[in-house]
């Protein structure tokens, strides 16, 4: 079963949108380098690399993600990179700072990716071995707990990256806005995992089947 966007775009159109978003991320990266802003440049660079992971897995491991999943990944990376961008001369302020819901949206979207990966890998292992069995109810709880745990680890990473950035004087690469913001981040992480657990697992079946085939025949 393939993953389709809500507006049911064709595979070709999804591919075009992916390329457009990647070009936009490159533009954001260029602005970060031009401004000497480490936060913009680093976040855009990492996001851009993530958008090329589907092509990497397809080329090197013959694991093919359909256009909808690739667009899902690329959109998440673009929105995060855009959130760090500031163009004061044009009156454009970082959405992370100027738009109260931006951080919540990107956390929910990013956590949905984490939940999607967790589901695909876990289901592949379940199909591959008789020693793992996950009824649908348990899978639902597992995905939520996995995303919540990953969210806690990510908040710790944000904190220590901010500390190290300040120590070496390269500016803020990742930013925390206090305990209240951290709690909200964890809440919206859970929302992203919940959405995948409720509606997204069926769309990841094809990907998990490919992973299972790789487990059973690594040289395939």
Q: In this predicted model, what pLDDT tens digit does every residue of 184-219 receive, in sequence order?
A: 888 988 999 888 888 777 778 889 889 888 887 766
Instruction: Note the pLDDT tens digit of each residue in 5-45.
Output: 445 677 888 899 999 999 999 999 999 999 999 889 999 99
Calculate what percentage of the chain has a pLDDT beyond 90: 41
Look at 98 and 11; give whichever has higher pLDDT: 98
Q: Which of 29-43, 46-60, 73-87, 152-166 has the lowest mean pLDDT?
A: 152-166
Q: Which of 6-15, 78-87, 114-123, 172-181 has the lowest mean pLDDT?
A: 172-181
Tokens of 38: 């480490």
Angle at 118 between CA 117 and CA 119, to 5 degrees: 90
For residues 9 and 62, the answer to whether their CB atoms sit within 8 Å is no
Angle at 62 between CA 59 and CA 65, to 5 degrees: 90
For residues 210 and 64, the answer to whether their CB atoms sit within 8 Å is yes
Distance from C-alpha of 203 to C-alpha of 193, rounded to nearest angstrom: 14
């Amino acid at each position: 079963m393939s993953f389709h966007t809500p507006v049911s775009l064709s595979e070709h159109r999804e591919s075009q949108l992916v390329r457009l978003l990647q070009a936009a991320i490159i533009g954001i990266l260029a602005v970060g380098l031009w401004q000497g802003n480490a936060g913009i440049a680093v976040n855009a660079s990492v996001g851009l690399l993530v958008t090329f992971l589907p092509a990497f897995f397809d080329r090197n491991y013959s694991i093919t993600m359909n256009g909808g999943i690739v667009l899902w990944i690329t959109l998440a990376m673009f929105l995060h990179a855009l959130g760090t961008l500031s163009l004061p001369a044009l009156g454009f302020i970082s959405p992370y700072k100027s738009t109260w819901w931006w951080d919540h949206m990107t956390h929910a979207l990013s956590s949905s990716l984490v939940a999607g990966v967790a589901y695909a890998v876990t289901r592949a292992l379940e199909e591959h071995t008789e020693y793992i069995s996950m009824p649908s109810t348990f899978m639902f709880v597992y995905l939520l707990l996995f995303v919540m745990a990953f969210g806690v680890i990510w908040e710790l990473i944000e904190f220590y990256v901010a500390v190290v950035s300040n120590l070496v004087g390269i500016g803020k690469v990742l930013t925390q806005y206090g305990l209240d913001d951290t709690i909200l981040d964890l809440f919206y992480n859970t929302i992203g995992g919940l959405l995948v657990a409720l509606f997204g697992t069926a769309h990841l079946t094809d990907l998990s089947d490919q992973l299972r085939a790789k487990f059973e025949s690594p040289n395939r």
